[in-house]
Structure 1
């Protein structure tokens, strides 16, 4: 698997290791393709040990101990974070609820702080910085359709849609970050996954009103 063509093989490993075992949804594929059930994914995709192979990287890079799970997690978390930021940035214009506004401000700050670390690690891995999940409808990922629906809503309707998207995003972020800690190889990536798991857990508590 060439780093320049990382895509479906790595996403299949990610699905088997991180997503399929945590959520009911199938693995991420191109929108035109069907979404197989988790059992089918386990039969047709590489088994978890394959994720332990070092990801090939272009000449001049320093791959370290990055494996396919590390790269797949980074390639998932970056667009998940970017898309959630786009949603959160709609809050000031779409709601007058002060609690929602305060939460959005806190979550925006946290998500923005994570992005440079995620991008730096992806760069260190030698994998391409392009969004391999463009157009994919995945658990925890705010899609273009989600953004359009939220953008049309205001007041209480907006607040409900925002909270629903936030909860799915945070819960999925926790699950895949745990999976990275279990199956990743690069210590820096695993440490960042642990940090993001703690952050998402705290944010989920705030969203549910158990932390203020």
Structure 2
């Protein structure tokens, strides 16, 4: 319980960072040409609630969809890197099962998002390298995780993956409200549903470790 109490204190600090990351994403999205309020810019908007051709060229996507894919691809890739570290290090059976679930869910989603960006004729990386994404682990976090084994790995993995999943859920919720592409919003729905459930599971794992 001492480990979980310590984690909750650390998690509170991480949640502040997550909120900052999501706010930054929203501000960046708002800045993507949104500052132009001229008649020409406003003519590209459909005030009846539909996405116009100017806002969603070539098939109904918008800037929020593009940003969601560009941010979630490296976010998912890091989750897979964390999952790979479990090989030969994890000891808890439930942690090992969760690792496999993460691999099965997130790798196909990465491939989907890459295909969207290719179809939309958009780059995989955000212009200028983007910004810090909510929930992403630092290089030191990854080194610390790799340096552990057994029960210590299980605890560290659960702590880091909770924060990582919380970041993904926040980004997916932004896509749910701001996105236009139906398939992208469906993936966002899946991320919110599955990763929220895994967050709850990981917290229970921490309580018993």
Q: TM-score, normalised by structure 2?
A: 0.68
Corresponding residue for residue 199 of structure 1: 194
Cα pair distance change 1:198/1:45, threshold 3 Å: closer
Over aligned residue pairs, what C-alpha RMSD do you find? 3.4
Superposed CA deviations along residues 96-155 of structure 1, whole A, max 9, x for unmatched, are 222211221122111123222121112222111247696964321233332212111222
Q: CA deviation at 1:76?
A: 0.7
Corresponding residue for residue 87 of structure 1: 82
Q: Name structure 1 gaps, 5 residues minimum.
A: 1-19, 28-37, 56-61
Cα pair distance change 1:192/1:45, threshold 3 Å: closer
Corresponding residue for residue 34 of structure 2: 50
Instruction: Please say which structure displays the higher CA radius of gyration.
Output: 2
Corresponding residue for residue 185 of structure 1: 180
Cα pair distance change 1:70/1:209, threshold 3 Å: same
Q: TM-score, normalised by structure 1?
A: 0.67
Summarize the alignment of residues 22-41 of structure 1 with structure 2, pairs less than 5 Å apart: 23-26=18-21
2: distance between equivalents of 1:105 and 1:89? 9
State the number of aligned residues.
173
Q: Name structure 2 gaps, 5 residues minimum.
A: 1-14, 36-44, 46-53
2: distance between equivalents of 1:189 and 1:93? 35
Query: Which one has more relative contact order, counting CA pairs under 8 Å at least 6 apart?
Result: 2
| 1:143 counterpart (138, 143, 152) | 138
Q: Which has more helix, going by share of residues?
A: 2
2:186 paired with 1:173: no
Cα pair distance change 1:83/1:26, threshold 3 Å: closer
